[in-house]
Amino acid sequence: MRPSTNMCNLPPWEIASRAYNEAPTPLSIQGIRATHHHFFAILDRLDTWAERARSYEDYMEVAFHLHQWRREKDPSGQLSLKNSYLRFLRGWLYDSNSVEGAVMKGWVESRLGIPPTFHRTRIMDRKSDAYLDYMRDRLNAAARTNAIFSQLDLLYEFVQYELSRRDPERTHMTLYRGVYDFAEHTIIEQADKHHATLQLNNLNSFTRDFERAWEFGTMVIEVQVPIPKIFFDGAFLHAGILQGEEEVLVIGGEYDVVLRLY
């Protein structure tokens, strides 16, 4: 499907391209750093990861009133506040084709303009039944949560801040994804059995651990992912939130990949 309009500093077709992957530049969601500039100023003054993680969690609670759900008398309003961004991360980690997964894919489509190509089944265009089913999941789940896309905006910007803070010179991260087939991805070109160009879904789960990737398929996709296309890193939230998760969520598009086979 063709990219749509976005809320980012670069056009969708550029973000999704192989040329961008080779020479990435920072991505930013329109207005987020400016709106939350006091929060990022606080992060600048904190020296340790534990301090920054706790500051992020506290700020999310206050900025989106997540702590007030126990005081909310209306059941629908209570559920809206209780179902924070953590529900959608956990839902994705359990099943990327869940209603929570549809919201996560919807964030990428809304903010970066890259539509999903798979949600339970292949999505060929915006007029297809598959796209309508995805949109139904996305809208139904998002309606039960307070400003979920705004919460995910700040999550993305925080992850990008932390990645840059830790290693400002780093441009790419080597990641792995185990698959059984290419049902969720499209082969654009294949030079040989070990090298191909794939159209990845607009959001994808990867891991840093090559051996762990084999747990999820009979083939492993190895990708050099540009740092700005890291949406979420499971190692970046404070212990107790998603402790032990090692998934890295990667924004899709066209990627040159190495195929590791048994």
Residue-wise pLDDT for 166-209, tens only, equals: 999 999 999 999 999 998 899 999 999 999 999 999 999 999 99
What are the residues facing 222 on neighbouring strands? 176, 258
In the chain, what is the greatest distance between 2 CA atoms, to the nearest angstrom? 61
Q: What is d(CA 14, CA 16) in angstroms, rounded to the nearest whole number?
A: 5
Q: What is d(CA 158, CA 172) in angstroms, rounded to the nearest whole number?
A: 18
Q: What is the pLDDT of residues 88-124, one digit of tens each?
A: 998 998 999 999 999 999 999 999 999 999 999 999 9
CA 49 to chain centre: 21
8: CB partners within 8 A, 6+ apart:
15, 27, 28, 29, 30, 111, 112, 113
The Cα-based distances of 158 to 15, 66, 129, 259 in angstroms read 19, 18, 35, 31
pLDDT of residue 162 exceeding 90, the answer is yes
Q: What is the pLDDT of residues 3-50, one digit of tens each?
A: 678 999 999 999 999 999 999 999 999 999 999 999 999 999 999 998
